[in-house]
Amino acid sequence: MHLPTNSIGVPLVLLLAALVGCIPIEPTCTLEARASLGVTVVDDTGAGIDDAIVTASLEGGETKTCESTGGGGYFCDFFEVEGTFVVTATRGGASDIASVDVAGDACHVETEAVELVLPADA
């Protein structure tokens, strides 16, 4: 079997293998916008709560009121935003709060799941 070689006789396969570790390869990013938070509000039995008041605040930034999407899920309208978020759910006289750090890679944030628990009778 004959392998193609460069001008000094080194097989091109070996030359390419040696170069692969030396050339940085940029990731291929998609055009999608990923949510920073995935918020779920449940009661102490695990049932979804759709009538809580849910807010998310970016530390040092804005606060947004999240909207119920049904089944205990809430949409908080933060896309591709990294940082520390404080998420609060309130219903009746009860509330739950969580702090979560959202980080990203070269292309997108890593969506962080947040589950808040409120009493069933609140």
| Per-residue CA distances from 33 to 76, 77, 79 (Å) | 14, 11, 6
Is residue 19, in this structure, part of any structural domain at all?
A: no
Q: Which runs of consecutive H residues, i.e. helices, occur in 7-67? A: 12-20
Nearest to 39 by CA among 10, 72, 3: 72
Higher pLDDT, 98 or 25: 98
Q: Please give the share of the chain, as a percent, with pLDDT higher than 90.
A: 73
Lowest mean pLDDT among 7-11, 75-79, 115-119: 7-11
pLDDT at 12 over 70: no
Domain count, the chain: 1
pLDDT at 21 over 70: no
Encoded amino acid at 14, one letter: L
Question: 95 lies in which domain range?
Answer: 37-118
Q: Which two tokens stand for residue 88?
A: 């609060």
CATH at 51: 2.60.40.1120
- Strand order of the β-sheet with 63-70 is 94-102, 83-91, 53-58, 63-70, 73-75, 37-43, 112-118
Average pLDDT, the chain: 88
Is residue 89, in this structure, part of any structural domain at all?
A: yes
